[in-house]
Amino acid sequence: MAAQQRAELAIQQAERAEGRLRAALEILPQGIVFLDAEGRYILWNKKYEELYSGTADLFRTGERLEDTLRVGVTRGNYPEAVGREEAWIAERMLHLSSASGRHEQRTSEGRHLLIEERRTPEGDIIGLRIDVTEMKQREESFRLLFQANPVPMFVHHLETDAILAANEAAVAHYGYAETSLLKMRLGDLRTDAPSHAVRRYSADLQGAPEHHCKASGEPITVCIYARALTYDGQPAALVSVVDVTERERVESRIAHMAHHDALTDLPNRVLFRERIEYELRRRAGTGLTAVFCLDLDNFKAVNDALGHPTGDKLLQQVSQRLLNEVCKGDTVARLGGDEFAVLRPDMPDAATAAALATRLIQAIGAPYEIDDHTVSVGLSIGIALGPPDGATCEALVKSADLALYRAKTDGRGTFCFFEPEMDARLQRRRRLELDLRAALAAEAIEVHYQPLLNLRTGAISGFEALVRWPHAEGDVSPGEFIPIAEESGLIYALGTYVLRRACRDASQWPSDVKVAVNLSALQFRHGDLVATVQSALAAAGISPQRLDLEITEALVLDRSERVLNTLRTLRGMGIGISMDDFGTGYSSLSYLRSFPFDKIKIDRSFVTNLNENTDSQAIVRAILSLGNSLGIAITAEGVETELDLACLQAEGCLEAQGFLFAKAQPASAVAAMLLGEGEAPPRAGSAA
């Protein structure tokens, strides 16, 4: 009885142990199978059935694994066996018989199973099935994101810096073979660190800059983006490399363009001022900092006559000559148009500044050979020395500008240092501009008339209209306010006012007395001058034959079709066209050929003291002879003495004007002058 009880107890204990074992197997996340030495099923859990759901209906104790595999192959549960069924089954049974190591298996459901099988001391087989599908999917995603990524990428070891993997983009971008890269460290690609340096990329880097070198030796700038990961069980980082070399080049070019002139590549106004400010801060009031403002003389005439391409080439050659004359550390800038500037941070004294200005004028004044043309321009320079002439950039540049204005006023082709009085003159100029604007609005500008005398008959042949400005502080000379009007744009309103007033006053004179009105070259470049003249004549009710328009040689120098067409149209209306101040500018017989003038006026500089100056006599004689040959009337200006008048008459001059006859008079005095009751010219021949 006791033996039977012990046997029953042992059976119960064995059943309880089997139950506990089965319960333990069921809670495991892996599939478990127990096979005997012949490969027959003994025990398996539900996870195992789930993993092999295609053949789970065949699982019975005592069934052979090989048989279930064969049925599974027939059912298509193992895609890797398709087309090689028997070979696949043989390979699988070989793994089972060896019962050592691991291998993978893929099912028709898309599962990836990691199989590990071990034999027990009794010869049975314990099999473990681990579902690694998600891990495989992650590996595949990594492979796609890594290998197929167009951005160069590396996996590097965090401790050794060794390159563990490199994608195709990295191989192509750096030019190394993949096998070569896998023998290198990531630091071997860098040029901005010692070759033995190890860069730790374990931190999440976002755009860290580095300088690398390709296999060809080409340097590149890259931004590094890194993320820590575990790679094949090793601490590593996934490193993405973004090549920003071209972007840096573009950004550098944009920055350069923002501070340099596109034509000459010289610093522009912005960079020039920045360097002045830097030097003034650096020197902090010690020593002298020199600023030279430069302006080309006669550049517009060259540009208009030969075209903008030639003008651009001229500016490029000018910039090179300037660079050749300055010292290292100086800055040559193009401020715009034909304006340049030079900064010398350490100027010893004014004498050195003057010597530099002299060299610049001589260098720029030498002829240029451009496209089969010989071109000449001059240079005017204004010089300011800081801090005496200005402790700030704004003040120093303003002082140099004022000095330049003075240099151009003094006759161009020279240099001028800033003087404190220049600022006072500028302030006066600004006040005069405002006052002139107000005077035009109030019609407070006056027109006076100086008679032109027929030296053969002694009669007044006409009057020249001369503008006068009675100012509250005293009369302002035309030589002062006319340039202001031209620079400010008021010349258009002033010219129109004088023209209309002169025509209106002339309507009160005898019909055989003409009126001459001076035109600024700027009036030809603004609006419709022909319409303005027509309107003035119509409003006054006088014929075009009574109007003479006087222009200077500077206008003819333009030689533009617009100017010549305008002159031809005016002359076609019957208006006389005179060249004023002949002989003082760029006088050329080609001007007389390009346009047939009605009259030439000999400048007063040749008439003053004519009887004492044989050179002037020769010039006057030549002009008179030229006029007679071309059928052009000649008028001598500025006759002030009986001796000068006698000399002119002896040379055959038939018309003159000047203080000897009468000063310019207001319109109210003209009627009396014509009647011989006011200030009147001498009779013809009285000076002979």
Lowest mean pLDDT among 12-21, 239-248, 441-450: 12-21
Domains and CATH numbers, the chain: 20-131 (3.30.450.20), 137-248 (3.30.450.20), 260-418 (3.30.70.270), 430-674 (3.20.20.450)
Query: What six digits make up the tokens of 73?
Result: 């192959």
Residue 19 burial (10 A CB sphere; 0-12, 13-18, 19+): exposed
Omega of the bond leading into 387 within 30 degrees of 0 (cis): yes
Q: How do residues 448-467 score in pLDDT, each as one tens digit?
A: 999 999 999 989 999 999 99
**If we measure between CA atoms, which residue out of 76, 91, 75, 135 comes closest to residue 111?**
135
Helices (H), 516-552: 529-540
> What is the structure's pLDDT at 180?
94
The answer to whether residue 523 scores a pLDDT higher than 90 is: no
User: How many whole angstroms separate alpha carbon 448 and alpha carbon 502?
Assistant: 9
Residue 562 burial (10 A CB sphere; 0-12, 13-18, 19+): exposed
- 457: three-class secondary structure by DSSP: coil
User: How many whole angstroms separate alpha carbon 436 and alpha carbon 342?
Assistant: 35
**If we measure between CA atoms, which residue out of 388, 394, 381 comes closest to residue 419?**
388
The answer to whether residue 548 scores a pLDDT higher than 90 is: yes
User: How many whole angstroms separate alpha carbon 467 and alpha carbon 519?
Assistant: 12
> What is the structure's pLDDT at 589?
62
608: which DSSP letter?
A: T
Helices (H), 377-418: 393-409
Q: What is the DSSP string of 17-50?
A: HHHHHHHHHHH-SSEEEEE-TTSBEEEE-HHHHH
> What is the structure's pLDDT at 200?
62
> What is the structure's pLDDT at 138?
72
66: number of Cβ within 10 Å: 16
> What is the structure's pLDDT at 592?
67
The strand pair at 373-375 and 368-370 is best described as antiparallel
Band the pLDDT of 684: cuts 50, 70, 90: very low
The answer to whether residue 688 scores a pLDDT higher than 60 is: no
> What is the structure's pLDDT at 683?
44
**Distances from the Cα of 70 to the Cαs of 41, 45, 188, in angstroms?**
15, 21, 54
Q: Tell me the residue ranges of DSSP E strands in 89-233.
A: 102-106, 112-119, 125-131, 153-157, 163-166, 206-213, 219-231
Lowest mean pLDDT among 193-202, 264-273, 302-311: 193-202
123: which DSSP letter?
A: S
Question: 141 vs 247, which has greater pLDDT?
Answer: 247
> What is the structure's pLDDT at 405?
87
The answer to whether residue 100 scores a pLDDT higher than 80 is: no
> What is the structure's pLDDT at 678?
55
Nearest-10 crossing angle of helices 491-506, 478-488 = 120
Q: How do residues 206-224 score in pLDDT, each as one tens digit?
A: 778 889 999 999 999 999 8
The answer to whether residue 265 scores a pLDDT higher than 80 is: yes
Q: How do residues 136-167 score in pLDDT, each as one tens digit?
A: 777 666 776 788 889 999 998 988 889 999 99
Q: How do residues 272-323 score in pLDDT, each as one tens digit?
A: 999 999 999 988 868 899 999 999 998 988 888 888 999 999 999 999 999 9
Query: Which uninterrupted H or E stretch holds 240?
Result: strand 234-243
Residue 522 phi, psi (nearest 5): -65, -25
User: At which residue do the structure tokens 């039977």 appear?
Assistant: 4
223: which DSSP letter?
A: E
The answer to whether residue 204 scores a pLDDT higher than 70 is: no
> What is the structure's pLDDT at 595?
72
8 Å CB contact between 210 and 222: yes
Q: How do residues 351-398 score in pLDDT, each as one tens digit?
A: 999 999 999 999 999 999 998 889 999 999 999 998 999 999 999 999
SS3 readout for 320-343: HHHHHHCCCCCEEEEEECCEEEEE
The answer to whether residue 685 scores a pLDDT higher than 60 is: no
> What is the structure's pLDDT at 677?
57
The strand pair at 547-551 and 576-582 is best described as parallel
Q: How do residues 167-181 score in pLDDT, each as one tens digit?
A: 999 999 999 999 999
Band the pLDDT of 425: cuts 50, 70, 90: confident
For the chain, give the number of residues.
688
Average pLDDT, the chain: 87
Query: Which uninterrupted H or E stretch holds 481?
Result: helix 478-488
Query: pTM for this structure?
Result: 0.52
> What is the structure's pLDDT at 306?
86
> What is the structure's pLDDT at 559?
59
- CB-based contacts of 218, cutoff 8 Å, min separation 6: none
Side-chain half-sphere exposure of 673, counting CA atoms within 13 A? 28
Band the pLDDT of 506: cuts 50, 70, 90: very high
